[in-house]
Amino acid sequence: MANIDELTTAAASGNINRVRELLDNGVDPNGVNKYGMTALQVMKMSRPDICRLLLNRGANPNVQDRHGIALVHDLAREGHLDTLTVLVEEGNADINLRDGNNKQAIDLARENNYPDIVDYLLRRNQAI
């Protein structure tokens, strides 16, 4: 069976076919690589399709690294609304998670001037 490092490498490089193949062969979507990261944490952020695939196979959308950073924080900080939408709407990611600096995704989106993400997160919070 292929290992977790192969899955995280495929996710990080945006190779959805390899990600699917590894998952089909039983690689755990929540397994951690040699750096302590899951495939969802290291996936190419501009690939909502990979995010969706990992979520559909059971990946935890709320895993945080040793700094308290989850994918929701990275996506908001980097401006990837398409992938963030998948993570939240299909993966039920917690948009109110706080990172190690006590910041939520909305704070990071504001700091990095992504008003579309700020608007989206505000609407999601109102829907809760």
Q: How far is CA 96 from CA 5, 21, 53, 105, in A?
A: 29, 33, 23, 7
Report if pTM > 0.85: yes
Q: Is the confidence at residue 1, as pLDDT, over 60?
A: no
What lies within 8 Å, CB to CB, of 114 at 6+ separation is 76, 79, 81
Question: What are the chain's domains?
Answer: 1-60 (1.25.40.20), 61-128 (1.25.40.20)
Chain segment 50-88, per-residue pLDDT in tens: 999 999 999 999 999 999 999 999 999 999 999 999 999
